């Protein structure tokens, strides 16, 4: 009898222990589930998707950025709302189009008092930081720590503003930015809280100054310009009026580093480049000169003209542009390694994007601004091991206004009704039952540098309709399947009459949905002209 009782109590003990253990496991699982993910939002400035090897254009090799796509998702149709720096950043922070958040151009101040996703994450228990380029004046709001570039920033001996206090760092900007970000992750944040870090590089923004280590990278490679490099802009007067041509507008000294000691190359922006060069240390200058001086001598001896000069300029541009990206890629590798080595990989969402795309010779251009694909589109790569399957490919139309609601969704925070973007969470998990079929675009910065006229438009899966206005009134329609490089404006083509009608309807639908109008355009124009002191055309 005694032994029986003993046996029963032993059994009961194990049964209870088993239940308790199961309970405990469940609690731990729930805790892990409930644990808010960390967010690392990586952005570079003017990084063309053509210059990320994961996109398969074969121009360069970015193994670390590619890791994000391999371990997570790549978006083939990521777009911006407005292809210029500050307005794109404002749209990402607020989740709203430019005409709603008020930051329509690089000229007007951004209103930091409005809601942004960093503020919302803070309210939801996050520790937040902003490091590097933001290009929105005033002390950033929504961050426990900020260390940002004043305006565009400088490649060498960069100035920063740390929590409102100005400071100059020795070294090369891309590394300085990475070091500040890693230092915050490692020593400055409250490790009890989930974190959100915005790690934003200046590179590869103009004027593409590489770091010493990469001065000779891809030196032996000759790049063939894109097929439409010598575009004649037929039936595209806005494209014809631009001043962002590699051949005509790229400055030999400022952009292409032909700062000859004899001072024979007296270009328009020579002095501006001299000031950037002067920020280097003697060692940096020596390394720089050792690379560029022979190129300068060779260039002068050749006396290139016409198409030969255009192709030479294109190659010089590509070399420097791609070299600055290599340092960005190294920084991404360091941050990914840090997350891995510190057990943060599983619970951290990593996004890589740019504030817009960039022309790498398409239509003969550099810069951005236009609603044509190369600058409208932007790279987006995203990983989150807990939810996103490695090797995910997303072909739906997504836009920079989608980042804010995506981060809030993952963080379990409320997504305010005024936010115009959509969370990408279900789309990227393969759980979205429906998705948008069109996206809207606006651009306002004109009259200005590069002379890209004011325009707005709509893009669907296969077509794009654009309206250029102010000192022009021109509609353009593209069949993106038949004409992916947008060389043929079919707006007046009778074969496209019904598509034209559909696209006008789509455009009106978009403008109604987001709350845009000609009256708002007129208002923004008046403000712009008066701020810049320009007389109305």
Residue 464 CA to residue 499 CA, distance in Å, equals 10
Piece in contact with ligand SGN (CB under 6 A), picked from 121-129, 171-179, 202-210, 417-425: 202-210
Piece in contact with ligand SGN (CB under 6 A), picked from 4-12, 199-207, 413-421, 528-536: 199-207
Does residue 467 interact with ligand SGN by CB under 6 A?
Answer: no
CB-nearer residue toward ligand SGN: 103 or 135: 135
DSSP 437: S
Piece in contact with Ca ion (CB under 5 A), picked from 41-49, 164-172, 423-431, 496-504: 41-49
Minimum distance from CB of 84 to Ca ion (Å)?
7
Query: Hey, what long-range contacts does 483-486 have (CB within 8 A, 24 or more apart)?
Result: 484/373, 485/226, 485/227, 485/228, 485/362, 485/373, 486/372, 486/373
* Radius of gyration, alpha carbons of the chain: 26
Minimum distance from CB of 149 to Ca ion (Å)?
12
Minimum distance from CB of 136 to ligand SGN (Å)?
11
Choose the one of ligand SGN, Ca ion, none that binds residue 206, judging by a C-beta under 5 to 8 angstroms depending on kind.
Answer: ligand SGN
Single out the residue of 196, 161, 165 nearest to residue 177, CA to CA: 161
Does residue 378 interact with ligand SGN by CB under 6 A?
Answer: no
The residues near 319 (Cβ < 8 Å, ≥ 6 apart) are: 217, 218, 219, 221
Residue 492 CA to residue 460 CA, distance in Å, equals 19
Does residue 46 interact with Ca ion by CB under 5 A?
Answer: yes
Choose the one of ligand SGN, Ca ion, none that binds residue 135, judging by a C-beta under 5 to 8 angstroms depending on kind.
Answer: ligand SGN
64 vs 68, 332, 438, CA distance in Å? 7, 6, 32
Choose the one of ligand SGN, Ca ion, none that binds residue 211, judging by a C-beta under 5 to 8 angstroms depending on kind.
Answer: none
Does residue 119 interact with ligand SGN by CB under 6 A?
Answer: no
Binder of Ca ion out of 42, 45, 209, 489 (CB under 5 A): 45
Binder of ligand SGN out of 71, 211, 330, 367 (CB under 6 A): 367
CB-nearer residue toward Ca ion: 46 or 66: 46
The SS3 assignment for 38 reads strand
CB-nearer residue toward ligand SGN: 68 or 80: 80
**Is residue 352 within 8 Å of residue 379, measured between CB atoms?**
yes
Minimum distance from CB of 430 to ligand SGN (Å)?
34
What is the footprint of Ca ion within residues 80-109 (CB under 5 A)? 85
Does residue 206 interact with ligand SGN by CB under 6 A?
Answer: yes
Number of neighbouring beta carbons within 10 Å of residue 413 = 19
The SS3 assignment for 262 reads coil
**Residue number closest to ligand SGN, CB atom:** 85
CA angle 223, 227, 233 (to 5 degrees): 125
Residue 10 CA to residue 112 CA, distance in Å, equals 65
Does residue 89 interact with ligand SGN by CB under 6 A?
Answer: no
Choose the one of Ca ion, ligand SGN, none that binds residue 207, judging by a C-beta under 5 to 8 angstroms depending on kind.
Answer: ligand SGN
CB-nearer residue toward ligand SGN: 206 or 511: 206
Minimum distance from CB of 357 to Ca ion (Å)?
9
Choose the one of Ca ion, ligand SGN, none that binds residue 402, judging by a C-beta under 5 to 8 angstroms depending on kind.
Answer: none
What is the distance of C-alpha 208 from the center of its chain? 16
Minimum distance from CB of 243 to ligand SGN (Å)?
10
CB-nearer residue toward ligand SGN: 177 or 207: 207
Does residue 323 interact with ligand SGN by CB under 6 A?
Answer: no
311 vs 163, 298, 304, 424, CA distance in Å? 45, 15, 10, 40
Query: Judging by beta carbons within 10 Å of its beta carbon (0-12, 13-18, 19+), is residue 423 exposed, middle or buried?
Result: buried
Residue 425 CA to residue 46 CA, distance in Å, equals 26
The residues near 305 (Cβ < 8 Å, ≥ 6 apart) are: none
CB-nearer residue toward ligand SGN: 82 or 147: 82
Residue window 434-453: x/- pattern of binding to ligand SGN, with contact defined by CB under 6 A: ---------------xx---
Task: Please report, to the nearest 10 degrees, the dihedral formed by the alpha carbons of residues 119, 93, 417, 389 taken in order.
Answer: -100
Does residue 373 interact with Ca ion by CB under 5 A?
Answer: no
Binder of ligand SGN out of 76, 106, 347, 485 (CB under 6 A): 106
Does residue 445 interact with Ca ion by CB under 5 A?
Answer: no
Piece in contact with ligand SGN (CB under 6 A), picked from 53-61, 192-200, 201-209, 487-495: 201-209
Residue window 220-259: x/- pattern of binding to ligand SGN, with contact defined by CB under 6 A: ----------------------------------------
Does residue 85 interact with ligand SGN by CB under 6 A?
Answer: yes
Single out the residue of 76, 43, 74 nearest to residue 373, CA to CA: 76
With contacts defined by CB under 5 A, how many residues of the chain interact with Ca ion? 4
What is the footprint of Ca ion within residues 256-315 (CB under 5 A)? none
Burial 77-88, CB ≥16 within 10 A → b, else e = bbbbbbbbbbbb
Minimum distance from CB of 242 to ligand SGN (Å)?
11
Residue 243 CA to residue 364 CA, distance in Å, equals 11
Query: Judging by beta carbons within 10 Å of its beta carbon (0-12, 13-18, 19+), is residue 148 exposed, middle or buried?
Result: buried
Binder of ligand SGN out of 89, 135, 319, 459 (CB under 6 A): 135
Location of structure tokens 């952009």: 255
CB-nearer residue toward ligand SGN: 67 or 206: 206
Site residues (vs Ca ion, CB under 5 A): 45-46, 85, 355
Site residues (vs ligand SGN, CB under 6 A): 45-46, 84-85, 106, 135, 152, 205-207, 367, 449-450
């Amino acid at each position: 009898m005694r032994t029986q009782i003993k046996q029963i109590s032993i059994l009961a003990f194990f049964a209870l222990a088993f239940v308790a253990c199961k309970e405990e496991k469940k609690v731990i699982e729930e805790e892990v589930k409930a644990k808010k993910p960390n967010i690392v939002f990586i952005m570079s400035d003017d990084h063309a998707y053509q210059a990320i090897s994961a996109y398969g254009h074969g121009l360069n090799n970015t193994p670390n950025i590619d890791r994000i796509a391999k371990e997570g998702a790549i978006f083939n149709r990521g777009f911006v709302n407005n292809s210029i720096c500050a307005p794109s950043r404002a749209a990402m922070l607020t989740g709203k189009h430019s005409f709603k958040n008020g930051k329509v151009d690089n000229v007007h101040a951004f209103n930091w008092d409005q809601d942004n996703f960093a503020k919302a994450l803070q309210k939801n228990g996050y520790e937040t930081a902003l490091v590097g380029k933001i290009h929105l004046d005033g002390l950033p709001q929504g961050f426990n720590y900020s260390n940002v570039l004043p305006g565009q920033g400088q490649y060498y001996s960069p100035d920063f503003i740390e929590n409102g206090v100005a400071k100059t760092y020795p070294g090369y900007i891309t590394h300085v930015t990475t070091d500040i970000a890693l230092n915050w992750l490692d020593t400055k944040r409250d490790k009890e809280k989930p974190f959100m870090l915005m790690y934003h590089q200046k590179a590869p923004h103009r004027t593409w100054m590489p770091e010493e280590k990469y001065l000779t990278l891809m030196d032996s490679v000759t790049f063939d310009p894109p097929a439409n490099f010598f575009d004649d802009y037929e039936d595209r007067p806005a494209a014809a009026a631009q001043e962002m041509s590699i051949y005509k507008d790229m400055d030999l000294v400022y952009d292409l580093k032909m700062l000859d000691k004899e001072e024979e190359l007296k270009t328009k922006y020579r002095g501006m480049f001299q000031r950037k060069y002067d920020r280097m240390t003697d060692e940096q200058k020596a390394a720089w000169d050792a690379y560029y001086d022979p190129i300068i001598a060779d260039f002068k001896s050749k006396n290139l003209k016409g198409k030969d000069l255009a192709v030479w300029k294109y190659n010089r541009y590509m070399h420097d542009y791609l070299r600055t990206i290599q340092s960005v890629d190294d920084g991404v590798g360091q941050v990914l390694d840090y997350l891995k080595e510190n057990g943060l990989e599983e619970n951290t969402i990593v996004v890589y994007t740019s504030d817009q795309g960039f022309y790498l010779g398409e239509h003969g251009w550099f810069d951005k601004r236009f609603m044509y694909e190369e600058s409208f589109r932007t790279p987006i790569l995203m990983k989150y091991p807990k939810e996103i399957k490695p090797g995910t490919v997303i072909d739906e139309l997504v836009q920079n206004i989608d980042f804010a609601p995506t981060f809030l969704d993952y963080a379990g925070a409320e997504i305010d009704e005024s936010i115009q973007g959509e969370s990408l969470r279900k789309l990227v998990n393969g759980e979205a039952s429906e998705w948008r079929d069109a996206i809207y675009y606006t651009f306002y910065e004109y009259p200005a540098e590069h002379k890209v006229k004011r325009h707005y438009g709509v893009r669907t899966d296969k077509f794009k309709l654009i309206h250029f206005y102010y000192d022009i009134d021109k509609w353009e329609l593209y069949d993106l399947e038949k004409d992916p490089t947008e060389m043929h404006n079919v707006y007046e083509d009778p074969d496209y009459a019904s598509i034209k009608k559909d696209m006008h309807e789509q455009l009106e639908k978009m403008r109604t949905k987001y709350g845009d109008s000609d009256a708002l355009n007129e208002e923004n124009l008046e403000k712009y002209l008066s701020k810049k002191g320009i007389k109305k055309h």
